[in-house]
């Protein structure tokens, strides 16, 4: 039997999650429910849970604050959050699991099934370490977690030269010549990286502005410091020129 703790200041959310678990997962048992960071920390220390549902925003702090108070995290984690752009972006950067409020039954059920399949706690600890690093450091030291079918990579955003897409796959090109292929669309990474020096210059290309070598107006080609040449789409041409003029 896997022990579950639900930490959320919203009573309706706590009760709803417990109801779905009780009704659909006979191998899970809700051993404690907490309402804030303080009581959540006490519950984790008392029950040593296998799975924790953790609200992001609570009266005495955030779920991130709680995680920073735990020396060693030995449980699987599912964040629960309202539509907070900051929180969702932070969670997605670290490839951690989350559900949105108001909670959808199907989404909740699928997330529980997914989280149960995590075998190695080291994988999740890498992700949690990344999110805590990002919360404690400036934009130049942001780390993004990239999941492939075989590995989990924790990459500094400043080390990414560009991202290129083909269908539903995105390839990350790093400054050490490493390539990492992810089964997600470029649009998702465009949304995540746009605040950290990345510019979408083509429907298939997202580039790190720090690796621009030059731009050819004649043929609309961007030359990168890794000697690659990237076409700039007609729609993105004016945006790129405006950006370069403001450097």
Q: Global pTM?
A: 0.89
Q: Which of 4-8, 39-43, 65-69, 82-86 has the lowest mean pLDDT?
A: 82-86
Question: For 122-141, what is the mean pLDDT?
Answer: 85
Distance between CA 154 and CA 126 in Å, rounded?
8
The CA-atom distances, in angstroms, between 165 and each of 149, 173, 192, 202, 219 are: 17, 11, 15, 10, 22
Ordered by where they begin, the domains of the chain are 2-135 (3.40.50.2300), 143-245 (2.40.50.1020)
pLDDT of residue 246: 77
Higher-pLDDT residue of 66 and 246 is 66
Whether the CB-CB separation of 168 and 127 falls below 8 Å is answered with no
The confidence score (pLDDT) of residue 119 equals 63
24-43 pLDDT, tens digit each: 999 999 999 999 999 999 99
**Can you tell me the distance from the alpha carbon of 183 to that of 166, in angstroms, rounded to the nearest whole number?**
10
> Which residues lie below 8 Å from residue 26, measured CB to CB, with a gap of 6+?
none
User: What CA dihedral angle connects 168, 174, 180 and 182, to 10 degrees?
Assistant: -30
């Amino acid at each position: 039997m896997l022990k579950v703790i639900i930490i959320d200041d919203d009573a309706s959310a706590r009760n709803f999650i417990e109801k779905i678990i009780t009704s659909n997962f006979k191998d899970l048992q809700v051993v404690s429910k907490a309402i804030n960071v303080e009581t959540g920390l006490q519950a984790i220390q008392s029950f040593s849970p296998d799975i924790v549902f953790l609200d992001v925003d609570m009266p005495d702090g955030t779920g991130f604050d709680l995680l920073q108070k735990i020396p060693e995290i030995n449980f699987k984690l599912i964040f629960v959050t309202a539509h907070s752009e900051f929180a969702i972006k932070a969670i997605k950067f670290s490839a951690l699991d989350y559900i949105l409020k108001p909670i959808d039954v199907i989404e909740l059920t699928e997330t529980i099934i997914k989280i149960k399949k995590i075998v190695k706690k080291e994988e999740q600890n890498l992700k949690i370490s990344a999110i805590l690093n990002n919360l404690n450091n400036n934009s130049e030291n942001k780390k993004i977690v990239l999941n492939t079918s075989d590995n989990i990579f924790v990459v500094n955003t400043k080390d990414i030269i560009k991202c290129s897409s083909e269908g539903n796959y995105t390839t990350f090109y790093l400054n050490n010549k490493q390539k990492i292929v992810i089964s997600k669309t470029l649009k998702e990474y465009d949304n995540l990286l746009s605040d950290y020096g990345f510019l979408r210059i083509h429907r298939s290309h997202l580039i790190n502005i720090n690796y621009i070598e030059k731009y050819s107006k004649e043929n609309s080609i961007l030359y990168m410091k890794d000697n690659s040449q990237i076409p700039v789409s007609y729609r993105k041409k004016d945006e790129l020129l405006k950006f370069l003029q403001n450097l």
